[in-house]
C-alpha cells in the first residue's frame, strides 16, 4: 500500500499548538484584530466614556459638600476623595463590555472559526482582554483630564501617581477575565451585559468608593473593608495624596496595607478567573 502525500506548492501543514512564543504571538494577533474593530466602531469607545464622565460631574456637583469625609463636608475634600472611586468603578465596569464582546463573537460563530485554526487555545481570550485593557487605559486618560477640569488634583510625585494608575489597570484586567467567563457562559450579548452589571453594583457601592466606610453599619463596614475594590481605591487615594485631612483608616489589614492588598487581590482574581475562563473555552470546543 502506498501513502499519498500532498506536495502542492503553497500548502502547509497546521502548526502544532502550544509553546509560550506561539501563545504570545496568537494573543497579540487577536488583540490587534479587536483594536482595529474598536477603531472602526468609535461609538463603542465614545459610549464607554459617557457614563464615567457623568458620574464625575454628578457626584462632584450634586453630592459634593453634602457627604462627610474625614470630619469635613468640604466640596473640595470630597472631590479628591471621590476620584479614586470613580477611576476604579470605570475599570471594573468595563467587565460588562468584555463579556458582551465575547458573547457576541460566540453568537456570530466567530469563536468557532478561531477554534478551527491551529492556534493557542487561550489566545482568543487573552487577545480580547488585552484589547479591552488598551481601551480601559484610554478611558482613564480622558477621565483624568475631565477630573482635572472639575478641580481634582494630585499631591504626590509622578512615580506614585503612575503606580496608582497601574494598580487600576491591573484591577481592570483581572476583572475583564470575570467578564470573559460570563461571556462564555451565556447565550446572548444582552445576557452577558446584564450578568456583568448585576454583581458590579453591590461590589462598587458596598465599598469605600463614594463614602467613608467608617460611617457604615458594622456588618457592611466589614464587607467594605475586605472588598478587593476598596483596597484598590484606598491604595490610589494614598498614592495620589487624596486622603482628606483628619481621615482615619480602619484597623482592617487591607485598609492598613492597601497597595499590597490591591496587588494580591488583583493577582488572585486574575489567576482564578483566567483558569476558569480558559477551561470553559476548551470544554466548549470539545
**Closest CA relative to residue 130, chosen from 266, 262, 23, 34:** 34
Report the alpha-carbon distance of residue 73 to residue 64 in Å, rounded: 8
**Closest CA relative to residue 146, chosen from 82, 207, 206:** 82
Name the helix (H) or strand (E) containing 37.
helix 20-40
Report the alpha-carbon distance of residue 182 to residue 198 in Å, rounded: 12
> Could you read off the pLDDT tens digit of each residue along the chain, which spans 286 residues?
444 444 444 444 344 445 678 788 888 888 888 888 777 777 777 777 787 888 888 877 777 666 767 666 677 778 888 899 999 999 998 888 788 888 887 777 777 777 777 777 778 888 889 988 998 998 899 899 989 988 889 999 999 999 999 999 999 999 999 999 998 888 788 888 888 788 888 999 999 988 888 888 989 999 999 999 999 999 999 999 998 877 787 889 999 999 999 999 999 999 999 999 988 887 765 4
Q: What is the pTM of this model?
A: 0.85
Report the alpha-carbon distance of residue 177 to residue 221 in Å, rounded: 27
Q: What is the DSSP string of 182-215?
A: HHHHSSSHHHHHHHHHHTHHHHHHSSSSSS-GGG
Amino acid at each position: 500500500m502506498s501513502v499519498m502525500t500532498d506536495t502542492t506548492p503553497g500548502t502547509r501543514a497546521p502548526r502544532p499548538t502550544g509553546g509560550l512564543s506561539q501563545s504570545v504571538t496568537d494573543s497579540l494577533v487577536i488583540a490587534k484584530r479587536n483594536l482595529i474593530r474598536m477603531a472602526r466602531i468609535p461609538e463603542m469607545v465614545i459610549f464607554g466614556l459617557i457614563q464615567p464622565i457623568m458620574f464625575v460631574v454628578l457626584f462632584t456637583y450634586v453630592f459634593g459638600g453634602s457627604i462627610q469625609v474625614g470630619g469635613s463636608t468640604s466640596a473640595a475634600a470630597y472631590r479628591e476623595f471621590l476620584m479614586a472611586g470613580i477611576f476604579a468603578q470605570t475599570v471594573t465596569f468595563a467587565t460588562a463590555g468584555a463579556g458582551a464582546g465575547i458573547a457576541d463573537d460566540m453568537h456570530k460563530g466567530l469563536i468557532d472559526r478561531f477554534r478551527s485554526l491551529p492556534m493557542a487555545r487561550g489566545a482568543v481570550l487573552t487577545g480580547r482582554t488585552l484589547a479591552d485593557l488598551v481601551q480601559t487605559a484610554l478611558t482613564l486618560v480622558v477621565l483624568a483630564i475631565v477630573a482635572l477640569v472639575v478641580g481634582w488634583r494630585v499631591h504626590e510625585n509622578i512615580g506614585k501617581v503612575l503606580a496608582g494608575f497601574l494598580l487600576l489597570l491591573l484591577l481592570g484586567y483581572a476583572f475583564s477575565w470575570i467578564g470573559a467567563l460570563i461571556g462564555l457562559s451565556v447565550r446572548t450579548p444582552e445576557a452577558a451585559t446584564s450578568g456583568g452589571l448585576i454583581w458590579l453594583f453591590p461590589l462598587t457601592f458596598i465599598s469605600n468608593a463614594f463614602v467613608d466606610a467608617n460611617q457604615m453599619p458594622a456588618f457592611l463596614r466589614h464587607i467594605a473593608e475586605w472588598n478587593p475594590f476598596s483596597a484598590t481605591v484606598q491604595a490610589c487615594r494614598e498614592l495620589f495624596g487624596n486622603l482628606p485631612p483628619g481621615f482615619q483608616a480602619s484597623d482592617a489589614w487591607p485598609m492598613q496595607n492597601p497597595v499590597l492588598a490591591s496587588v494580591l487581590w488583583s493577582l488572585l482574581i486574575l489567576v482564578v478567573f483566567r483558569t476558569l475562563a480558559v477551561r470553559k473555552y476548551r470544554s466548549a470546543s470539545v
